């Protein structure tokens, strides 16, 4: 397993964002985004883990960085649940490492793009036991959310920001909106933003993320 890329802030770290890349990308994919955000969040450490390389069924079995195998695109994405659980445990290990390094879990945020976002939604709301600063779900979906989402009290207290492209042809906007709606129905403080874009990240989206994080980090 590759070690995560860790970007230290200019001041002593008192908050942390753990940011997962999407399918086929790597831990350097969001390095420029993290560097841009650190100009505003100058006491926030960014941890960018790397997914293992493995065969992906929907891509003809071609091996690429993947948090879990996608077996079929429908119904609503058939996935390798055991690999998703392993990725969630990896994220929990990163949270615990930051906690043990002195960061209050209430100031640890999980962020993820596309497949990485599915992992952080699953981890934050269904697997992690305890407080978190919040979740950033970019152009993603929640393959493990049920229509009636049963959350612990601590999970209901985790705020979330869901961001999506209106013209996303990889993860349709409706899938992202469904994840948002599940969280809202379960009592989570969740916000929705959509943009005139495809399956990508835009500068105005990063500005929104920076403002959302700054409001919670202080």
pTM above 0.85, yes or no: yes
- State the pLDDT at residue 78: 86
CATH, range 5-217: 3.40.50.1820
Q: In angstroms, what CA-CA distances link 148 with 129, 140, 159, 190?
A: 19, 19, 18, 16
As a dihedral over the C-alpha atoms of residue 64, residue 110, residue 90, residue 119, rounded to 10 degrees, the angle is: -50
Q: Which residues are marked as active site?
A: 114, 168, 199
The chain-wide mean pLDDT, for the chain, equals 95
pLDDT band at 49 (very low <50, low <70, confident <90, very high): very high
β-pair type (44-48, 5-7) = antiparallel
Q: In angstroms, what CA-CA distances link 47 with 21, 30, 89, 115?
A: 11, 10, 15, 17
Tokens of 204: 């105005």
**pLDDT tens figures, 57-114:** 988 899 999 999 999 876 667 899 999 999 999 999 999 999 999 999 999 999 999 9
**pLDDT tens figures, 163-185:** 999 999 999 999 999 999 999 99
Domain spans of the chain, in order of start:
5-217
**What is the helix (H) or strand (E) element at residue 136, kind and residue range?**
strand 134-138
Query: Which of 61-75, 126-140, 179-193 has the lowest average pLDDT?
Result: 61-75
């Amino acid at each position: 397993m590759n070690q995560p890329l860790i970007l230290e802030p200019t001041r002593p770290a008192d908050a942390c964002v753990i940011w997962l890349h999407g399918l086929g990308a790597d831990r350097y994919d969001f390095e420029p985004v993290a560097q841009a955000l650190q100009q505003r969040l100058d006491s926030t450490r960014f941890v960018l883990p790397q997914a293992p390389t493995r065969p992906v069924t929907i891509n003809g079995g071609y091996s690429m960085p993947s948090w879990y195998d996608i077996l079929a695109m429908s119904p609503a994405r058939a996935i390798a649940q055991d690999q998703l659980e392993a990725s969630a445990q990896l994220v929990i290990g990163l949270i615990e490492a930051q906690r043990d390094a002195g960061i209050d879990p209430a100031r640890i945020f999980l962020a993820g793009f596309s497949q990485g976002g599915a992992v952080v939604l699953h981890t934050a709301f269904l697997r992690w036991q305890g407080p978190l600063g919040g979740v950033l779900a970019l152009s993603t979906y929640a393959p493990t959310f049920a229509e009636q989402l049963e959350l612990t009290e601590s999970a209901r207290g985790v705020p979330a920001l869901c961001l999506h492209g209106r013209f996303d042809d990889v993860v349709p906007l409706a899938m992202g909106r469904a994840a948002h709606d599940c969280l809202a129905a379960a009592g989570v403080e969740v916000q929705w933003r959509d943009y005139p874009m495809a399956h990508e990240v835009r500068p105005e989206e990063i500005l929104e993320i920076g403002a959302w994080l700054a409001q919670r980090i202080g």
